């Protein structure tokens, strides 16, 4: 029996995505509070070490994942084996891989010469527990992803974030009045507490849809690893070209450079979740449609393209105008540019990095489409090329240009990935993109940018950098109106959202 994606299914996909994005927005607001608290409590060097701990662990976290979450969602969508069987084996695999990867991370942190005499080695040991809980949470949530019930992990995420920020406020305002080694480590324990609670809540809801148990079918493990390994290696290479620059900044420069780079990267961390959530929601349906209805699959890819573009373009335009007040809002004045003194701060880095983010939004459509047709192995070659470009450029530019050089390298790397993912997909899928909506989106975003730019300085004279709090919702309203006026938002798309 053929599979037909109707309005109801489209609505479920969009609802599932927007629930996650909505939760992520709440989580993002809490993350902004966390960055604001820590950057105003720790010195620039201290915050640089805090960022370095998580950037270092992020690399090993990818090793622990190996793409198993995405493969699990795809396999459950095929409905060839019971979800409990897939979940139980994936859970066992990721648990063992996580324990091994985190143990290796701790060992390496204690022997890297540049980390000696800093808070980083012990910090890695503490934060590795938090990363371990996060990886398990992602595994358990896969069963909720396949049932399009991601509101529950979203609730868990928000509750966990609230616990973490509450713990941090206690550390900063009550337990310690000044930065110290113990205060630094307690800030990391706050993340452990939040992620543990997040895992408990997600596990509770997932257990209602599938029996959660550890299974050890080694034949299934071998077959799954064969499928996941190319994608997993691609993720590791992706980590190198998008995140390894923070590690290189500490190794080739110092922790201050990491701090200045780390503030805008926290913003990108928040935004980068959007394409992952959206494409993970689309993946099960796209996988089936590609097999049974290529024309419908083409329509899905086109809608994904328009959706990603409608988010990425205004974010890029808005960041060019509002980067300075945004960095002020989420950090401290120490991170802002002082052009009169020849100092370029985190706001300049944000203007550059946001372009890389836009490229990654679009490339996610093509990379997930390759996964849906079973060609995730092709991502390996694309990511390898991106990693080589990134490492080569970073080793050249970081010693001279520091974090700004790393930001430009990220743009170049993401452009490389976007180009070759698009070309690779066209070899295996009849990709036909229409750009009618794209031009309207660009025009709408430019009008929004002009309006915000005209009002920015007058509002600064009244409320200084807090003008961001007025200009952001105003920009959203102007952009939304322009999308409606240009016909990007029409009755068909509104009906799609309402499921009619």
Query: What's the rounded Cα separation, in Å, for the pair 283 and 271?
Result: 19
pLDDT on residue 11: 63
Average pLDDT over residues 125-136: 93
- What percent of the chain shows pLDDT beyond 70? 89
Instruction: Give 225's contacts (C-beta < 8 A, 6+ positions apart).
Output: 66, 93
d(CA 67, CA 56): 19
Please state, in angstroms and as integers, the Cα–Cα distance from residue 146 to each residue in 8, 33, 94, 199, 460, following that order.
16, 32, 18, 18, 47
Q: What is the mean pLDDT of residues 439-456?
A: 95
> Is the pLDDT reported for residue 126 higher than 90?
yes
Does residue 193 surpass a pLDDT of 60?
yes
Q: Could you report the per-residue pLDDT of 298-349, keeping only the tens digit for each?
A: 778 888 888 899 999 999 999 999 999 999 998 988 999 998 888 899 999 9
Read off the tokens for 211.
């029996």
Question: 429 in helix, strand or coil?
Answer: coil
Q: Is the pLDDT of residue 476 over 80?
A: yes
Residue 2 has pLDDT above 50, yes or no: no
The more confident residue out of 77 and 427 is 427
- Over 50: is that where the pLDDT of 471 sits? yes
> Is residue 498's pLDDT more than 60?
no
* Chain segment 13-23, per-residue pLDDT in tens: 666 667 767 77
- Residue 243: the pLDDT is 73
Binned at pLDDT 50, 70 and 90, residue 429 comes out as confident
Taking 70 as the threshold, does the pLDDT of residue 229 lie above it?
yes
Burial letters 366-405, b for 16+ CB under 10 A, else e: bbbbbbbbebbbbbbebbbbbbebbbebbeebbeeebbbb
Model confidence at 283, pLDDT cuts 50, 70, 90, reads: confident
Query: How high is the pLDDT of residue 402?
Result: 93
Of 230 and 275, which is predicted with more confidence?
275
pLDDT score of 4 more than 50: no
Contact (Cβ atoms closer than 8 angstroms) between residue 331 and residue 35: yes
What pLDDT does residue 384 have?
A: 84
Quick one: average pLDDT of 31-54? Answer: 90
In tens, the pLDDT along 137-150 reads 888 887 777 666 77
pLDDT computed for residue 487 by the predictor: 84
Give the residue with greater pLDDT, 376 vs 153. 153
Q: What is the DSSP code string of 401-417?
A: HHHHHHHHHHHHHHHHH
Instruction: Compute the average pLDDT of residues 455-469.
Output: 91
Residue 300 Cα distances to 215, 285, 426, angstroms: 35, 9, 15
The mean pLDDT of the chain is: 85
Residue 380 has pLDDT above 60, yes or no: yes
Integer angstrom CA distances of residue 286 from 127, 281, 289: 36, 9, 5
What per-residue confidence (pLDDT) applies to 5?
Answer: 46
Sign of CA dihedral 95, 99, 101, 102: positive
- For the entire predicted model, the pTM comes to 0.80
* pLDDT at position 51 over 50: yes
CA 284 – CA 300 distance, rounded (Å): 12
Residue 25 in this model has a pLDDT that exceeds 80? no
What radius of gyration do the chain's Cα atoms show?
22
What pLDDT is stored for residue 32 in this prediction?
Answer: 82
The percent of residues above 90 in pLDDT, for the chain, comes to 39
Nearest to 135 by CA among 60, 188, 224: 60
Cα distances (angstroms) measured from residue 195 to each of 76, 164, 310, 477: 25, 8, 32, 35
More confident residue, 156 or 291: 156
CB 213 within 8 A of CB 153: no
Q: Indicate whether 80 pLDDT > 90.
A: no
Amino acid 414: pLDDT = 92
């Amino acid at each position: 029996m053929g599979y037909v994606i109707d309005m109801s299914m489209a609505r479920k996909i969009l609802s599932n995505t927007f629930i996650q994005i909505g939760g992520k927005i709440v989580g993002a607001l809490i993350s902004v509070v966390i960055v604001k608290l820590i950057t105003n409590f720790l010195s620039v060097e201290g915050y640089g070490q805090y960022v370095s701990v998580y950037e270092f662990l992020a690399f090993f976290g990818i090793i622990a994942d190996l793409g198993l979450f995405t493969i699990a969602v795809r396999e459950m969508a095929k409905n060839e084996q019971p979800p409990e069987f897939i979940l139980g084996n994936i859970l066992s695999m990721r648990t063992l891989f996580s324990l091994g990867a985190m143990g290796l991370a701790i060992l390496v942190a204690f022997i890297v010469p540049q980390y000696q005499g800093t808070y980083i080695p012990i910090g890695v040991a503490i934060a590795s527990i938090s990363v371990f809980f996060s990886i398990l949470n992602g595994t358990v949530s896969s069963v909720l992803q396949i049932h399009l019930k991601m509101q529950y992990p979203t609730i868990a995420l928000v509750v966990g974030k609230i616990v973490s920020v509450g713990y941090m406020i206690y550390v900063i305002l009550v337990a310690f009045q000044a930065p110290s080694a113990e205060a630094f480590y307690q800030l990391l324990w706050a993340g452990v507490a939040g992620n543990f609670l997040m895992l408990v809540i997600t596990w509770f809801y997932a257990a209602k849809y599938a029996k959660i148990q550890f299974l050890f079918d080694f034949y299934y493990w071998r077959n799954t690893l064969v499928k996941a390994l190319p994608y997993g290696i691609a993720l590791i290479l992706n980590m190198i070209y998008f995140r390894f620059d923070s590690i290189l900044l500490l190794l080739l420069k110092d922790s201050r450079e990491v701090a200045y780079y780390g503030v805008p990267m926290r913003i990108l961390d928040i935004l980068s979740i959007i394409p992952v959530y959206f494409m993970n929601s689309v993946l099960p349906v796209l996988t089936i449609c590609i097999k049974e209805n290529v024309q419908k699959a083409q329509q899905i890819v086109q809608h994904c393209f328009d959706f990603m573009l409608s988010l990425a373009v205004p974010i890029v335009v808005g960041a060019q105008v509002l980067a300075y007040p945004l960095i002020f809002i989420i950090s401290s004045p120490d991170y802002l540019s002082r052009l009169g003194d020849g100092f370029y701060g985190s706001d300049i880095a944000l203007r550059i990095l946001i372009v890389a983010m836009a490229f990654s939004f679009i490339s996610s459509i093509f990379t997930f489409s390759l996964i849906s047709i079973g060609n995730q192995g092709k991502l390996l070659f694309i990511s390898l090329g991106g990693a080589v470009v990134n490492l080569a450029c970073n080793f050249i530019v970081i010693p001279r240009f520091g974090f700004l050089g790393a930001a430009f390298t990220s743009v170049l790397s993401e452009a490389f990935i976007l180009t070759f993912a698009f070309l690779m997909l066209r070899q295996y899928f009849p990709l036909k993109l229409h750009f009618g909506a794209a031009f309207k989106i660009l025009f709408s975003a430019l009008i929004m940018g002009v309006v915000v730019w005209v009002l920015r300085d007058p509002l600064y004279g009244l409320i200084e950098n807090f003008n961001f709090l007025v200009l952001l919702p105003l920009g959203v309203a102007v952009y939304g109106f322009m999308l409606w006026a240009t016909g990007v938002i029409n009755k068909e798309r509104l009906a799609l959202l309402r499921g009619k």
